[in-house]
């Protein structure tokens, strides 16, 4: 898909991957609609050029307003980038269920409803793209982010369902699986803190700008899946081919992280 001139709706656009996507897609000539909780930061990212909708996407009314404001300004949504998401650091045996529900509301249900809201127009025009920003954690469960992994696995399945349903109508669906990205993700978790030893893995991190560029290229080439960085495919393949071995390795890493070793 040629991005130039397309109307792109980006959630979680005030920072991290979302803010980087706004810049990358703007440089490709897109017209932007940006959604996030922080109004002041949205104005900075917008530069007075984009539709700005501030609000909490766990609220269905906010989700509908985001799409309505985009349609009022541009008349359509060509590309939806479901980027908004949040983490949770707590063992599955101890995590507060209300907090888990809140995470799923944003990570899964908000993304699903936004896709439902834009899909009819895309089907009518026989073109469009929906991008689900998931995580490598959706492909292999990370024990220090076990329930976040579950939410991203659910998002992956939603994306697969949408892809199958919408393909005959000319609408592409791309799943993005970032690895470690240098964002404020850890500081914005709903509960808990990442294990202290996790910082050592920052050497494998990519920047939000690198991730956003990979997303844009994925849209342009109608990619089914974007792994960022691409080396993440090695870990995913290992988890599928040697699940017991990978489980043992992750359990060992998690145990060492908990001990601070």
Residues marked as catalytic: 148
Torsion, Cα of 2, 136, 103, 59 (10° steps): 0
Dihedral sign computed on CA atoms, order 80, 81, 82, 84: negative
Separation of alpha carbons 221 and 24, rounded Å: 16
- DSSP characters over 62-129: HHHHHHHHHHHHHS--SEEEE-------S-TTT--HHHHHHHHIIIIIIHHHHHHHHHHHHHHHT-EE
Separation of alpha carbons 8 and 14, rounded Å: 15
End-to-end Cα, the chain, rounded Å: 47
Separation of alpha carbons 109 and 105, rounded Å: 5
Here the tokens at position 67 are 């799409």
Residue 77's nearest CA partner among 116, 105, 134, 109 is 116
The beta strands (E) that lie in the chain are given as 7-11, 31-36, 51-54, 79-82, 128-133, 171-178, 225-228
Q: Name residue 11's beta-bridge partners.
A: 35
Torsion, Cα of 184, 155, 229, 234 (10° steps): 130
């Amino acid at each position: 898909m040629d991005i130039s001139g397309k109307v792109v709706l980006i959630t979680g656009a005030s920072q991290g991957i979302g803010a980087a996507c706004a810049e990358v897609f703007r440089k490709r000539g897109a017209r932007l609609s940006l959604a996030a909780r922080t109004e002041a930061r949205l104005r900075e990212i917008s530069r007075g050029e984009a539709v700005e909708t501030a609000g909490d996407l766990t609220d269905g009314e906010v989700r509908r307003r985001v799409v309505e404001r985009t349609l009022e300004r541009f008349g359509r949504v060509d590309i939806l980038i479901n980027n908004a998401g949040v983490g949770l650091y707590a063992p599955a045996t101890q995590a507060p269920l209300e907090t888990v529900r809140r995470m799923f509301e944003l990570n899964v249900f908000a993304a699903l409803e936004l896709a439902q809201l834009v899909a009819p127009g895309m089907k009518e025009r026989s073109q469009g793209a929906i991008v689900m920003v998931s995580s490598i954690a959706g492909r292999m469960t990370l024990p220090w982010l076990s329930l976040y992994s579950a939410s991203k696995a659910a998002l992956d399945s939603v994306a697969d369902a949408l892809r199958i349903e919408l393909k005959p109508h000319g609408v592409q669906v791309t799943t993005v699986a970032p690895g470690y990205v240098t964002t404020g993700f850890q500081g914005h978790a709903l509960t808990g803190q990442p294990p202290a030893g996790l910082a050592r893995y920052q050497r494998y991190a990519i920047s939000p700008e690198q991730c956003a560029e990979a997303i844009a290229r994925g849209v342009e080439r109608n990619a089914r899946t974007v792994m960022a960085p691409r080396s993440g495919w090695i870990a995913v393949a290992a988890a599928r081919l040697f699940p017991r071995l990978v489980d043992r390795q992750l359990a060992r890493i998690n145990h060492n992280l908990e001990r601070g070793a």
